[in-house]
Homo-oligomer: A and B are copies of this chain.
């Protein structure tokens, strides 16, 4: 299991709880091939360190819920900054949208905090070797995303009246300006609704929203 002669993986731990960082660092330090070389208490700090440290990091373990930049935002920023260390999100959340978004933004893994320490070590090692580190409980989330349905273990998706109105018009291909005219509200307000719809559904663009609406039959007559 332990790689032969290669260098140990240089790892940074990012979490706003020092105690948790400490525990993780101790856990990893016991492994010959895993070397915790840096810690950060926030996403901002993590970015600063990751872009300046030498030699470069091999792997970053990122807490999802942090004040300031959260794990996903930090992942995005790190990728934009050209950091190509493996990134693993470490979280208590098994929310569908969190997992999917994390992977979309460039994370290489998503582990749940309630995993056994031994299992965490195994997954981190797997990620360092280029595999996708994923808590076994989460595979069904990816599988259902593939199958195209999001319900089984997730949220029932409750859009407000207005959000549904906007989504319906998006699904007709209308621009924000047109939607504003049709609903007799400002374009800025339409944008607010669009933003919320995208966030609630875990989507990235109005086109995805339109597709979602069509597939879920939330579109009225075109």
Contacts and interface: CB of A to CB of B under 8 A. Distances in A.
Interface of A: 100, 103-104, 106, 131-132, 134, 136-137, 139-140, 142-143, 145-148, 170-173, 175, 203-208, 210-211, 214-215, 221-222
Contact of A171 (B142, B146, B203, B211): B211
B134 A143 contact: yes
The 5 A-B residue pairs with the shortest CB-CB distance, nearest first, are A173-B208, A132-B140, A142-B142, A132-B143, A207-B207
Contact of A104 (B148, B214, B222): B148
Contacts of A208: 173
Nearest to A137: B131
A139 B146 contact: no
B173 A207 contact: yes
24 contacts: A100-B146, A103-B146, A131-B137, A132-B143, A134-B139, A139-B139, A142-B143, A142-B145, A142-B146, A145-B146, A146-B146, A146-B222, A148-B221, A148-B222, A170-B207, A172-B211, A173-B203, A173-B205, A173-B211, A175-B205, A206-B207, A210-B211, A211-B222, A215-B222
